[in-house]
């Protein structure tokens, strides 16, 4: 069954700290729109601004508010291995299904180092984990052979988010994982159909912050084998991909567009990505409005 897991934005107050009420509004909004899960403190969640203590408090508060209403996953990657390990091990007791952990960044890594890093993590964790493959941010993409060796050693590595510009990499990962209970999610929303075609499990896509209604409709249609509606909805999502291509932060655009859709939250983003968007919001608001109008024209799945 295909799923959409939302790499949720973090709502900040004017001091740059998480706004509890604002984040609760976002969680309720996503749950009301029937998403399959929420990834807290992923890339869209601007996790780099928070200290280890702030991350732990935020993750705990988030889980308390959600209270089992949807599946939760925690972004726990940090440039410091011990902090990554400690935060990852703490989230199981909070109610998270698993941590999703990005590979080492800044210094650059090779396949042998990735193998050693994720192997050490997996062997020290109290539960399952997901790997976050994001070569545009880490400088290294995990190879299918490396992943197969990891999962052979560490069966608690149960899935991967593949945020790659070349979706053929996802195909290689899925081929390497054939016959294993392993979930592969696309990181880019417009790779969803390809992800399913090669044996993946769906998407962990940022556009679900803005259009969780379209995304959950797409998941229902795909799982019901309604090909015509699935393709039509995927096409609508693909039209929104320019949101990622603007020169400002996609997270701040997500939040501004969510406000446009009626959520009373702050658009505050982390410094230095909190500056003017050079008109990107106005352009993307027009694009969103047209997509939503076309979605309404498409009608409900039961019409």
* Residues belonging to the active site: 132, 161
Sign of CA dihedral 247, 236, 101, 150: negative
Cis peptide preceding 272, ω within 30 of 0? yes
The set of residues, in sequence order, having a beta carbon less than 8 Å from that of 136 and lying 6+ positions away, is 163, 165
Contacts 24+ apart (CB under 8 A), 292-300: 292/211, 294/236, 295/211, 295/213, 295/214, 295/233, 295/236, 298/229, 298/232, 298/233, 298/236
3-state SS, residue 301: coil
Q: Whose structure tokens read 């990005």?
A: 102
- Count CA atoms within 13 Å of residue 254 on its CB side: 25
Sign of CA dihedral 80, 85, 91, 97: positive
292 φ/ψ angles, rounded to the nearest 5 degrees? -65, -35
80 and 104 Cβ atoms separated by less than 8 Å:
no
Strand 98-102 versus strand 71-75 pairing type: parallel
41 and 76 Cβ atoms separated by less than 8 Å:
yes
33 φ/ψ angles, rounded to the nearest 5 degrees? -95, 15
């Amino acid at each position: 069954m295909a799923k959409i897991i939302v790499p949720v934005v973090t709502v900040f107050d004017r001091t740059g700290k998480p706004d509890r009420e604002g984040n609760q509004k976002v969680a309720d909004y996503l749950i009301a729109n029937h998403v399959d899960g929420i990834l807290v403190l992923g890339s869209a969640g601007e996790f780099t601004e928070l200290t280890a203590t702030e991350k732990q408090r935020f993750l705990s508060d988030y889980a308390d508010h959600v209270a089992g209403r949807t599946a939760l996953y925690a972004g726990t990657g940090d440039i410091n291995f011990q902090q990554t390990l400690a935060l990852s091990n703490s989230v199981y007791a909070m109610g998270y299904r698993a941590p999703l952990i990005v590979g080492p960044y800044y210094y650059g890594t090779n396949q042998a180092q990735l193998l050693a890093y994720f192997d050490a993590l997996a062997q020290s964790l109290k539960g399952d984990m997901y790997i976050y493959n994001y070569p545009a941010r880490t400088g290294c993409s995990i190879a299918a052979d490396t992943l197969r060796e990891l999962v052979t050693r560490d069966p608690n590595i149960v899935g991967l988010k593949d945020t790659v510009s070349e979706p053929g990499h996802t195909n290689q990962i899925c081929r390497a994982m054939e016959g294993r209970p392993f979930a592969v999610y696309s990181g880019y929303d417009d790779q969803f159909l390809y992800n399913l075609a090669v044996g993946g499990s769906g998407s962990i896509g940022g556009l679900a912050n803005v259009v969780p209604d379209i995304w959950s409709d797409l998941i229902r249609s795909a799982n019901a084998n309604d090909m015509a509606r699935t393709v039509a909805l995927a096409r609508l999502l693909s039209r929104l991909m320019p949101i990622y291509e603007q020169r400002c932060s996609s997270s701040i655009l997500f939040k501004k567009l969510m406000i446009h859709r009626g959520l009373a939250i702050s658009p505050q983003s982390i410094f230095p990505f909190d500056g003017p968007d050079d008109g990107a919001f106005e352009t993307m608001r027009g694009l969103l409005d047209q997509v939503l109008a076309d979605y309404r024209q498409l009608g409900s799945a039961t019409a």
